Amino acid sequence: MRIALAQINSTLGSFESNAEKIIKYTADAKNRRCELVVFPEMALFGYRTSDLLERKSVVVQQLTQIGKIQKKIPEGITLIFGAVTKNPSKRGKPYFNSAVVLSKNSKPKTFNKQLLPTYDVFDEYRHLEHGETNKNIIKIKNKKILITVCEDIWAWEMPGTRNPYPANPLTNIKGKFDLVVNISASPFSLNKEKDRLFVTRQTAKQFKAPMVYVNTVGAQDELVFDGGSFALDKAGNIISQCVRFAEDLNVADFSERAGGFRSQKLEQTETIRQALVLGIKDFANKTGLSRAHLGLSGGIDSAVVACLAVDALGPSKVTTFALPGPYSATQSFDLAKKLAKEIHVELKEIEIRSAYETIVRQLENTFDSLEFGTVHENIQSRLRGLYLMAFTNYKNSLLLSTSNKDEYAAGYTTLYGDMCGGLAPIGDLLKGQVYDLANLYNKQTEIIPREIIERVPTAELRPNQKDQDTLPPYDDLDKAVRNLVQKKLNAKTKSEKWLLQALMKSEFKRWQAPPILRVTEHAFGRGRNFPIAHKAFF
Amino acid sequence: MRIALAQINSTLGSFESNAEKIIKYTADAKNRRCELVVFPEMALFGYRTSDLLERKSVVVQQLTQIGKIQKKIPEGITLIFGAVTKNPSKRGKPYFNSAVVLSKNSKPKTFNKQLLPTYDVFDEYRHLEHGETNKNIIKIKNKKILITVCEDIWAWEMPGTRNPYPANPLTNIKGKFDLVVNISASPFSLNKEKDRLFVTRQTAKQFKAPMVYVNTVGAQDELVFDGGSFALDKAGNIISQCVRFAEDLNVADFSERAGGFRSQKLEQTETIRQALVLGIKDFANKTGLSRAHLGLSGGIDSAVVACLAVDALGPSKVTTFALPGPYSATQSFDLAKKLAKEIHVELKEIEIRSAYETIVRQLENTFDSLEFGTVHENIQSRLRGLYLMAFTNYKNSLLLSTSNKDEYAAGYTTLYGDMCGGLAPIGDLLKGQVYDLANLYNKQTEIIPREIIERVPTAELRPNQKDQDTLPPYDDLDKAVRNLVQKKLNAKTKSEKWLLQALMKSEFKRWQAPPILRVTEHAFGRGRNFPIAHKAFF
């Protein structure tokens, strides 16, 4: 049997264009002599569905597309794609997360996801009901196929991890299968590929059957889906693999034991780069914004974000701003200029000093005994935010915030200041990962001026300020953020104890953060739902 | 049997002080000759637990308090209180939401919540496992008591509402009971009392037994818990009722068929006022902030927020700012002054014009052909935010945002401008409800100058601006917001269709909104998880 792995980039809620894509890929699959074409989870609806599911009319619109697809597909090919379907029961959550099986002349069948991820960035149990049966089985051309949706194959015991489901539904399924299909919307994070291979191999082993795993690709708000769909033979060998971070149609032919194999060994930093570029690009595309802008401080964070933005949108669509203030070094401006020239983006300059001085003078008259401190620092940062947001209003351009994960964790970023933006591309990167990205950009030629990489990090909000006057050394801070935030461990080292206090004091800032592109298993954003008003210590 | 309803205000994560409160209330209950004292759901941990549960050490700290409580309680009284307990299984979610039953000399018993609300503001299934049994039964002094936790009694069919649970666990419980206990953390919203009475009466009827319903009181971030605990006889008559919006210890004696009955018929607007005052007060208390401030525009929204802040914190802890701009009427400043005087709060004045002019001049030099428009309007709003946040940094004072629900829905509020703040007290109020509150404040004497209530709403960001130049008439807008946001209906009227477009365009703003005190069944905030990048129309 020849099977097409149709790794498409759906747009959430764009049912017509998603349906058209499904029809087009089906035609392509048919042309490539496939009898089955498998699309990702929620290929028709888009993922994450979240509270769009509280609008009945939205689901109705999506459902009507299923009939339209059926009318337009050729004979002799079966489709499996993900969609939202209605729960016929009068009780329980109103919808299912389903795999729809469609062919020209037979009634559509649906199979419902049994395990609904409800942790971190996943909120499926808000609106979706559990599928109940273990009868997710179809026959195509006399082949018996078991259909699973994403999480359904993730309830295997994994060393060192607590499984959030009381039981593994796969262990109750009896019988022999010719194929197991899994349709997924599994967001990118570092190390995720390894886990996917583990669970698919366990599943192939359990049923002594080959597997087709089709993952979605594209980005939606915080989440980047990396695709990387693949087929395994029953021994667990990859016989076909799609590209990552792009749409792909690939063929797996188990009888010939051959399929398109596109080697995907990417270096880790390059993986992050591709994820963030796709994240920016799809956020712009899917919100209808075509331009982006950001402030260039002459520091490494904004330099890297500028490079990512250019990769995503092209240099003509990116505007940069130098916004020197009373404590900015001349070098900072020179470096920003040099970088802008190197990456061919426009650089506009606005001096914040005069507005700053006006405001400080007024506050000195209004507040008693105002000494130089946070008030003054934050005015500078917020003025920059104000100028940058003026350009958003002027050009309908997406402001990119340049704060990194260390800064978010420590609260070392100004609410309504550097935190301003429609998207925070590097908000889930440790400082060390930002350096890695800078070095990656400079691998061939010096795109980011070497001085930007080498100079000592500074916010330049007071005379001779260094980040390390306030923060622990970045190496320690990186480790602390990884341990406390990403791995959820307890604070042990001095830096970790420092960070813990800082984390707790700054939750109110992160509550108001822009969407942060997620590249780790645990980022700030909707996947981390911490309270503000509490007294817990951990 | 004499039962104490101990309606306490726990602080999330403050295990020692919550335990002390439980001990103190138990002693009081004993003094009042009670044999059983019932505390709210999560009385020991505090509610909403959310991602505090991802920190193992936090739960350990809470669990050690159970032993400490047991050591300090007198003989002859049994406690029922809510706490987080560990799931002994190696699989599934790691914790339970439990009712702990404690007395001096016997082993603590725990009963686990079966229905875990995971919708709107509730996220219990993120970290909590379902209780499995229907054996939540204890015997105290030969009385057989059925114990339920909050949602466990909410799976009755309710007319016009879809029940999110496939089955009602109560209908499977056989046997006769002398009492049904429900411990709750049921957040306030208008009309919620009626629903509570419905589900408790259904439960009393099902088991032909009296009921004790103990709800928590106090606020945590967006949520306000109104208490209002009560006892029903088996016919469903209230025989004992606690106050609302304050701690209370009340006695229900079923054998004497008598209890403390505190009449709670509050007028709807007064209920809202009490909810918001408690919301502000607890947010300040529980985050450790003692002061608040806000900008007084001379309009009705800020006037009402100022009154609420004074009710919550006292006039000496509230600072107001008049921040007149180039398009502010003199009347606006005069009215702000008049109001500040009336409610005895300090008013500081800072003119935003000079900073505004500096910035506009710079932008005219930097942007090509900048015509007067949103850029100019938002600079004014953001400058006000900047001055107000300077006071936050200066005094560690809580900035209150004054945007209302109509404004949030329509996106008629400036991100990083009027949206600045640590808390948005009236962000879930329709404009009409803001007027109702103003009229309530003026019931006895004219606290809010009549002109503030009577003048035509304006943002004063351009010459002769009126809100109604941009928005539909407020009466229509109120209806549209109620229908589309709160009731989740489809857009039908012209104003609703207008609002739908506006809602969809402004999701990015609300993603970054401060916590909004919730008073309806569906507010903006964490209870409404909408995507930004999507193409759905509803």
Residues A368-401: pLDDT tens digits? 889 999 999 999 999 999 999 999 999 999 999 9
Q: Report how far residue B402's alpha carbon sits from residue B300's, in angstroms, rounded to the nearest whole number.
A: 10
A48, A126, A379 member nearest B531 (Cβ): A48
pLDDT at A260 over 80: no
Give the model's confidence band at B200: pLDDT under 50 very low, under 70 low, under 90 confident, else very high. Answer: very high
Could you give the CA distance from residue A285 to residue A263 in angstroms, rounded to a whole number?
A: 28
pLDDT of B74 above 80: yes
CB contact under 8 A, B416 and A385: yes
Q: Is the pLDDT of residue A356 over 90?
A: yes
- Map residue A321 onto helix, strand or coil: strand
Side-chain-side CA neighbours of residue B396 (13 Å): 6
What per-residue confidence (pLDDT) applies to B132? 82
- Give the residue from chain A lying closest to B362, CA to CA: A350
Q: Which domains does chain B have, with CATH numbers?
A: 2-257 (3.60.110.10), 270-511 (3.40.50.620)
Q: Is A72 helix (H, G, I), strand (E, B) or coil?
A: helix
DSSP state of B487: S
Contact A535 B389 (CB under 8 A): no
Q: What is the complex's ipTM, to 2 decimals?
A: 0.96
> In terms of DSSP bridges, do strands A292-295 and A318-322 run parallel, antiparallel, or are they unpaired?
parallel
- How many Å lie between the alpha carbon of A43 and the closest alpha carbon of chain B? 14
Look at residue A537 in the predicted model and tell me its pLDDT: 82
How far is the C-alpha of A38 from the C-alpha of A51, rounded, in Å?
Answer: 26
**Chain-wide mean pLDDT for chain B?**
95
The reported pLDDT for the residue numbered B226 is: 97
Contact B236, B201 (CB under 8 A): yes
Please tell me the distance from the alpha carbon of residue B240 to that of residue B259, in angstroms, as a whole number.
5
- pLDDT 10s digits, B467-489: 999 999 999 999 999 999 999 99
Q: How many CB atoms lie within 10 A of CB A470?
A: 11
pLDDT digits (tens, 9 = 90+) for A310-320: 999 999 999 99
Burial class (CB in 10 A: 0-12, 13-18, 19+), B235: exposed
Q: Report the number of secondary-structure helices (H) and strands (E) in chain B.
A: 15, 19
- Whole-number pLDDT of residue A257: 58
Q: Which residues pair with A211 in a beta bridge?
A: A180, A232
Which residues in chain A (385-424) have CB-CB distances under 8 A to chain B?
385-387, 389-391, 393-394, 415-416, 420, 422
Q: Which residues of B are catalytic?
A: 41, 113, 150
- The C-alpha of B449 sits at a distance from chain A's nearest C-alpha, in angstroms, of 26
| Confidence category of residue A266, pLDDT binned at 50, 70, 90 | confident
Catalytic residue positions of A?
41, 113, 150
Average pLDDT for chain A: 95
Task: Tell whether A372 is within 8 A of chain B (Cβ).
Answer: no
Give the residues across from B109 on adjacent strands: B101
Average pLDDT over residues A456-461: 93
Please check whether residue B391 is in contact with residue B349, taking contact to mean a CB–CB distance below 8 angstroms. Answer: no
Q: For residues B278 and B301, give the distance between their C-alpha atoms in angstroms, rounded to a whole number.
A: 18
CB atoms A375 and B383 under 8 Å: no
Q: In percent, how much of chain A has pLDDT > 70?
A: 98
Burial of A510: CB neighbours in 10 Å, binned 0-12, 13-18, 19+: buried
**pLDDT, mean of residues A117-123:** 97
Query: Is there a contact between A480 and A412 (Cβ–Cβ < 8 Å)?
Result: no
Using an 8 Å CB-CB cutoff, list chain B residues near A348. Answer: 366
Q: With contact defined as beta carbons under 8 Å apart, do B246 and B227 qualify?
A: yes
Q: What is the pLDDT of residue A191?
A: 86
Q: Which residues of chain A does B399 touch, with a Cβ-Cβ cutoff of 8 Å? A: none
Of A58, A92, A157, the CB nearest to B538: A58
Residue of B nearest to A62 (CA): B536
Contact residues, A window 289-328, toward B, CB-based 8 Å cutoff: none
Residue B55 Cα distances to A507, B61, B482, angstroms: 15, 10, 38
Are A183 and A40 in contact, with CB atoms under 8 Å apart? Answer: yes
Is 80 exceeded by the pLDDT of residue B263?
no
List Cβ neighbours of A476 (8 Å cut-off, separation of 6 or more): A493, A495
Q: Name the residue among A51, A391, A488 with its Cβ closest to that of B530.
A: A51
What distance in Å separates the CA atoms of residue A442 and residue A343, rounded to the nearest whole number? 12
Per the CB < 8 Å rule, is B390 touching A375? yes
Which residue of chain A is at minimal alpha-carbon distance from B127?
Answer: A119
Question: Pick from A110, A156, A106, A101: which is nearest to A129 by CA?
Answer: A110
- Reply yes or no on whether the pLDDT at A265 is more than 90: no
The answer to whether the CB of A518 falls within 8 A of the CB of A485 is no
Whether B286 and A533 lie within 8 Å, measured CB to CB? yes
Residues in A 148-207 with any Cβ partner in B closer than 8 A: 157, 162-167
User: Which residues numbered 345-364 in A keep a CB inside 8 Å of some CB on B?
Assistant: 348-351, 354-355, 358-359, 362-363
C-alpha B55/C-alpha B326 separation (Å) is: 51
For residue B214, the distance in angstroms to the closest alpha carbon of chain A comes to 22
Cβ–Cβ of B515/A513 closer than 8 Å? no
CB–CB contact A422 B508 (8 Å): yes
CB-based contact A523:A432 (threshold 8 Å) = no
- Measured CA to CA, the distance from residue A257 to residue B416 in angstroms comes to 58
Does B87 reach chain A within 8 Å, measured CB to CB? no
Poorest-pLDDT segment among A235-239, B45-49, B342-346, B421-425:
A235-239
Read off the tokens for B292.
């608040």
Residue A263 scores a pLDDT above 80? no
| B368 touching A (Cβ < 8 Å) | no
Whether residue A258 has pLDDT greater than 90: no
Does B379 reach chain A within 8 Å, measured CB to CB?
yes
Q: B94 and B112 in contact (C-beta within 8 Å)?
A: no
Taking an 8 Å cut-off on Cβ atoms, the answer to whether B531 and A52 are in contact is: yes
CB contact under 8 A, B11 and A534: yes
pLDDT exceeds 70 at position A231: yes
Give the pLDDT band (50/70/90) at residue A333. Answer: very high
Name the DSSP class of A352: -
Contact A118 B125 (CB under 8 A): yes
Asked if residues B489 and B481 have their Cβ atoms less than 8 Å apart, the reply is no
Q: Do B50 and A359 touch (CB under 8 A)?
A: no
pLDDT number for residue B113: 97
Residues 12-51 of A with CB under 8 A from B: 12-14, 17, 46, 48, 50-51
Going by C-beta distance under 8 Å and a sequence separation of 6 or more, which residues neighbour residue A520? Answer: A189, A190, A428, A486
Q: Which sign, positive or negative, has the C-alpha torsion B340, B344, B345, B348? A: positive
Residue numbers in B near A354 (CB within 8 A): 358, 362
Q: Chain A to chain B, count of Cβ pairs less than 8 Å apart?
A: 274
What residues in A contact B163, CB-CB < 8 Å? 91-92
pLDDT tens by residue, B25-56: 999 999 999 999 999 999 999 999 999 999 99
Considering chain B, what percentage of its residues have pLDDT values greater than 90? Answer: 93
**Partner residue opposite A529 with nearest CB, options B123, B166, B219:** B123
Residue in chain B nearest A500 by alpha carbon: B55
The three-class DSSP label of residue B7 is strand
**Per-residue pLDDT at B264:** 67
Torsions phi, psi of B76, nearest 5?
80, 10
Residue B402: HSE in the Cβ half-sphere, 13 Å Cα cutoff: 27
Q: Which of B13, B351, B375 is nearest residue A536 as measured by Cβ atoms?
A: B13
- Predicted structure pTM score: 0.97
B369 close to A (CB below 8 A): no
Closest Cβ opposite residue A538 in set B55, B515, B532: B55
CB of B502 closer than 8 Å to CB of B410: yes
Give the nearest partner residue to B350 out of A46, A166, A366, using CB atoms: A366
pLDDT at B494: 96
Question: What are the φ and ψ backbone dihedral angles of A111, each rounded to 5 degrees?
Answer: -130, 130
Task: Determine, for residues A363 and B390 on separate chains, whether the beta-carbon distance falls below 8 Å.
Answer: yes
Interfacial A residues in 212-241 facing B (CB < 8 Å): 219-221
Measure the CA–CA gap between A71 and B416, rounded to whole angstroms. Answer: 49
B259 pLDDT band, cuts 50/70/90, is low
Distance between CA A259 and CA A252 in Å, rounded? Answer: 4
Instruction: Tell me whether residues B379 and A386 touch, CB distance under 8 A.
Output: yes
CB-based contacts of B167: which residues, under 8 Å, 6+ apart? A91, B155
In whole angstroms, what is the distance from residue B37 CA to residue B510 CA? 42
Q: Which of A394, A400, A403, A497 to mutate to test the interface with B (most CBs of B within 10 A)?
A: A394
Residue A503 has pLDDT above 90, yes or no: yes
pLDDT at A384: 98
Q: Return phi, psi of residue A491, to 5°.
A: -75, 125
* Residue B286 with chain A: CB contacts under 8 Å: 533-535
Cα nearest neighbour of B319 on chain A:
A367
Q: Which residues of A96-133 are buried (b: 16+ CB within 10 A; e: fewer)?
A: bbbbbbbbeeeebbbbbbbbbbbbbbbbbbbbbbbbee
